[in-house]
Structure 1
Amino acid sequence: MELKKLSNRVYYLPSEEETDRPVLGYINGDKYSLAVDAGNSCKHVEKFYEELRNANLRLPDYTVITHWHWDHTFGMHAVSGKTVSGKLTNEKLKEVAEWKWSDEDMKDRLKAGKDIEFCDKCIKLEYPDRQNVKVVTSDIEFNGKLKFDLGGIHCEVMEVNAPHSEDSVIIYVPEERAVFVGDADCGDYYNYGGKYDKNKLQSYIEFIREIDFNTCLLGHDKPESKEEVLKYLDEQLNIL
């Protein structure tokens, strides 16, 4: 996958389905740069950084995490600059950092409902040697909202009540009318088998509707317009 350019300020590396590598975002400021999510391994980070160098873009000064799931966080130890997450994300990462990665340990987590089969399968594909799994917490932790002035462009980082995960964080770039949502728009695979909680979905729709954006960058899909995003979410709500 090659780095995609939305503007001189906003770029993204597309997702890769085989090992569930998510979209990685990049916001280019005059003074600082900010990445969205740390990917699922050091190899994923290396691929991202190779693409940034090829585009003559500096490595990120900050990497903001959208939620705790492995595919967005297991590359955190390998990123450039400081990592940033919400308090809920950091609390979960502290728990995951204690996990063991033998076949037996992974089976036990599946039985206990601490992990899901899809993630189990993809982790084994991304990590032929699971001794290379390294989980860390973020350098900077926040509650509620956080703003970054990157020089000529700003990022608003916000915790949101989203259906996918309780610790969901979105990154809004007002000058570009772009928003990175990670997997916030998806169902909950850990508690509802990929389905939506109606109240959380309703809350998320109301939240996202109030944001002034043209482009929504999703965690595992191509960018969509605000109209496309709301149409899909409203359809899911109507089904419930």
Structure 2
Amino acid sequence: MLNKVSDSVYYLSNQDDKERPALGLVCGDKYSLIIDAGNSPQHAKDFLAEIGKLDLPPVKYAVITHAHWDHFMGMNEFGATIIVNRRTNELLQEWQTFTYDDSSLEKYVSTNRMDAKCMEILKEEMPDRDSFKLDSPDIIFGNTLTIDLGNKKCIIEEITSTHTDDATIVYVPDEKVLFLGDSGYGKTTNSLFHIQQSLLVPMIEDIQKYDAEMSLLGHESICDSAEMDLYWKELKSASQAVISASLAKAEEKFRVENKREPSDNELFFIKAFVNDQIIQSQ
């Protein structure tokens, strides 16, 4: 079931048990645009089935927010013009060379070219894939791109991100809705989950220049501006407490500066920034 944000903006909720991110939909008078294509062809088909229940303009465009498999593996299903930034296009080129039979998938996992969860999902949801090939994107943009769906504009921009180096966001100005993909998350390097401290403030500045009343991160429910402001505030307060690879010192610095204990979220972020200090020192 699609969640209705406004008469022209919808999203399909994330499903953590199936590694499915939230998928967005923006509708103009003439066309519709989707944000992210799902983690498998079946995920995309489920999304299209929900879209088909409503009287909406045809899907003409699909924006891929970044080149992580759970956001693009369903893109062949839409028959849409696929839009990516330059870096995402570079990263997708490897996936376009892949073959997807069982033995190939197992080889990619064993050589760390594919996540084991991706293989599991594809085997479960796409049994007939011996001849499957991932399509190539159609529009490759740099910096920003504006798409007019018919009295409904979408601003597509590549931004700094603590999650990937190819993050794209989509803003709908007259709705004040912002689709963030996974841009506001951290990442795992050398088995350590971390948030890149040096990129935090530039990322937040890139995002907060948009006047967004509602924002959607890829693995959350939609958030209003107060909830997002709190999220950024907690990230910044946690980052300011971390100046070394010592978790104990960071926690103490947080207590002194804020005159309180860190919340559960802030403690999680502090640990992620400490891990970043560890990784940067290696």
Q: TM-score, normalised by structure 1?
A: 0.89
Q: What amino acid maps onto 2:143 in structure 1?
A: G
More helix by share: 2
Structure 1: state its 5+ residue gaps. none
3-state DSSP of counterpart to 2:97 = coil
User: What corresponds to 1:155 in structure 2?
Assistant: 154
Q: 1:154 to 1:138 in 2, by over 3 A?
A: same
User: What corresponds to 1:136 in structure 2?
Assistant: 135
CA shift, 1:80, in A, is 2.8
Q: What amino acid maps onto 1:219 in structure 2?
A: G
3-state DSSP of counterpart to 2:187 = coil
Larger Rg computed on CA atoms? 2
Contact preservation (8 Å) 1:73, 1:135:
no
Q: 1:177 to 1:124 in 2, by over 3 A?
A: same
CA shift, 1:177, in A, is 0.5
User: What corresponds to 2:170 in structure 1?
Assistant: 171
Q: What amino acid maps onto 1:211 in structure 2?
A: Y
- Spell out, residue by residue over 1:28-59, the C-alpha distance to the aligned partner (whole angstroms, 9 max, x if none): 10122111111122222221111112111133
- Spell out, residue by residue over 1:153-187, the C-alpha distance to the aligned partner (whole angstroms, 9 max, x if none): 21000001111111110000010000001111111
Structure 2: state its 5+ residue gaps. 239-269, 274-282
Q: What amino acid maps onto 2:226 in structure 1?
A: E
Matches of 2:187 and 2:176 in 1, distance apart? Answer: 27
Q: What amino acid maps onto 2:113 in structure 1?
A: K
Q: Does 1:6 align with 2:5?
A: yes
User: What corresponds to 1:203 in structure 2?
Assistant: 202
Matches of 1:42 and 1:12 in 2, distance apart? Answer: 17
Contact preservation (8 Å) 2:99, 2:133:
no
Aligned residues: 239
Q: What amino acid maps onto 1:168 in structure 2?
A: A
Q: 1:135 to 1:8 in 2, by over 3 A?
A: same
User: What corresponds to 1:97 in structure 2?
Assistant: 96
Matches of 2:233 and 2:131 in 1, distance apart? Answer: 41
3-state DSSP of counterpart to 1:34 = strand
Matches of 1:154 and 1:41 in 2, distance apart? Answer: 28
Structure 1 runs, 4 residues or longer, greater than 6 Å off: none
Q: TM-score, normalised by structure 2?
A: 0.77
3-state DSSP of counterpart to 1:194 = strand
Matches of 2:217 and 2:232 in 1, distance apart? Answer: 13
Q: What amino acid maps onto 1:183 in structure 2?
A: D
Select the structure with the greater relative contact order (CA < 8 A; seq sep ≥ 6). Answer: 1
